[in-house]
Every structure is written in structure tokens, then in C-alpha cells.
Amino acid sequence: MRDKLADKIDEILVTEDELQERIAEMGAEITADYNRDDDVVMVGVLRGGIIFMADLARHVKLPVTFDFMDVSSYDGTESSGVVRIIKDLEENIEDRHVLIVEDIIDTGRTLKHVVDFLETRDPASIKICTLLDKPERRTVKKVEVDYNGFEIPDEFAVGYGLDYDERYRNVPFIFVLKPKFYD
């Protein structure tokens, strides 16, 4: 199994050590930015953001609540990508501090939609934390990212929560597959 994976890797974008070191830093930054008595709801975006949220949360030294959303982006025309909410929050976020935890921001459309959707519920604040960012691909300029782990080039990244066709989410580093494994 290990050999098979090694044969498929074109390039490692972020190693396991780099991930863990940066995530610890991000957790410390988040801890410092909120007040001890802030009511923080960490909102993980399924499914890709889950591994990151699990590791990040252990470095956030604040009392937090976990919640999750599932959204699906349909690729329509460039100007009208439709984002659908598949699973809404369980928590009432009114007057609470929402920290959205995402795996990757590509065009920014998914997050823009999620933020607009959550804003209507009058949270005390909404911040965005993403592990990866592809700045070259951004079409939605209005998304302000508060915490960003790594900027990566415009390549299809997998591993550490990110999938290709639902696979590779459990690989502990981030990589690009050889072209013949993407179809």
C-alpha cells in the first residue's frame, strides 16, 4: 500500500512536519486573538476541513464549541457558481464568535457563500481560517482570510483531508498526484 502511494506522488507540497509546525503557530495566533471569555464556535467545513480542524483545535487554548457544515459547489458558468448548503449548523450562532475552518480556498466562491449565509444570523464576529490558499485562482475578491496556513501554486492538491475522488484524505501530508492518476 505504501509503495503504491509513493509511486503515485508527483510532488510533495507540504510535509507532515511543516503542517504540524504551522498548525501549532496558527493555534497560538488564534488563542492570542480572542478573549478568554469569548464564546467561540469552530465551524468545520465538511469533509476536507476535518483533519485540519482536529489538529488545529488542540492548539487553540480557549473553550470552543465544535459544529459542522456541508456545502457543495456546482461549477456553472464562471460568473454564476451555485453553492448549496447540504448540512446546516446545529448551534445557534447569534452573538457568538464564529471561526470557519476550511481546507482550501480556490476561487473563494464557497466561502463567500458560507459567510453571507451565516452573517444573516447576527454572530458577534465571523473569521476565516484556511489551511491552504491558491491566491492565483481567486475570483471572489470580497473574501477576507484571517488565518492562512500555506499559499500553494495552482495545482490540484490532495492529502491531509483533501481528496481526489474521495481518496487520499487520510494521507498525513499534502501532495500532487502524477498526471496519469487524475482523469
- Catalytic residue IDs: 106
Task: Give whichever of 30 and 152 is closer to ligand 5GP, judged by the CB atom.
Answer: 152
157 binds, among ligand 5GP, Mg ion, none (CB under 5 to 8 A by kind): ligand 5GP
The Cα 149–Cα 132 span in angstroms is: 6
Q: How far is CA 154 from CA 115, 134, 135, 176, in A?
A: 24, 6, 8, 11
Task: Give whichever of 13 and 62 is closer to Mg ion, judged by the CB atom.
Answer: 13
Where do the H-state alpha helices sit in the chain? 2-8, 16-33, 50-57, 109-119
Nearest-approach distance from CB 148 to Mg ion, in angstroms: 14
- Whether omega for the bond prior to residue 47 falls within 30 degrees of 0, making it cis, is yes
Task: Give whichever of 62 and 162 is closer to ligand 5GP, judged by the CB atom.
Answer: 162
| Binding mask of the shown chain, residues 88 to 107, with x at each position contacting Mg ion by CB under 5 A | ---------------x----
Nearest-approach distance from CB 161 to ligand 5GP, in angstroms: 8
**Beta-bridge partner residues of 67:** 43
Report the interface residues with ligand 5GP, using CB under 6 A.
48, 73, 102-110, 156-158, 162-164
- Whether omega for the bond prior to residue 137 falls within 30 degrees of 0, making it cis, is no
Separate counts of helices (H) and strands (E) for the chain: 4, 9
Nearest-approach distance from CB 28 to ligand 5GP, in angstroms: 24
